Amino acid sequence: MEELKLSGKFEHTLDPKGRVTLPARYREYFRNKVVLVRFPNGEPCVNVFHPVTWDRFDAKNVEPLDNFKDLEAAWLVRDIYGNQDEVEPDGQGRVLLGQHIEPAGLSGKVLIIGARDHLEIWDPETYAERRQQMVSRDA
């Protein structure tokens, strides 16, 4: 599998069944399966990983946590894996977001952002507010 650098901003709509269509340019890349995850203490969005990319992320960032000796690490691992789903896109490239919709504040229009090794699905207003906060903080 050739690893892509995921980039761009795409406006899509969450359908009544809780599905969102992945950007056309990335549908082939994600055609078999996606890993959806919300990170505890992370941004209020749904992260969309290719399974191979998720495995690399997991090996680098999650697997090294000592969740047998460190209670905080144990809860972090629980929260990450409790908020993760593997989903197969349908024939139209739609992904069922399921348990991720409400915690990420998604409804109607959504913004899909390329974030190098994964996509992020945001509520457009939340994204604009967070972006403004970061710009104001750095000014």
**Cα separation of 133 and 120, whole Å?**
18
> How far apart are the C-alpha atoms of 121 and 12, rounded to whole Å?
10
**pLDDT band of 1, cuts 50, 70, 90:** low
pLDDT in tens, 13-70: 999 999 999 999 999 999 999 999 999 888 999 999 999 999 999 999 888 887 778 8
Domains of the chain by start residue, with CATH: 9-138 (3.40.1550.20)
Whole-prediction pTM value?
0.91
- Whole-number Å distance between alpha carbons of 110 and 103: 14
**Does residue 3 register a pLDDT over 80?**
no
> Is pLDDT larger for residue 137 or for residue 106?
106
- Which residues, in sequence order, are CB contacts of 106 under 8 Å at separation 6+? 14, 46, 97, 100, 121, 122, 123
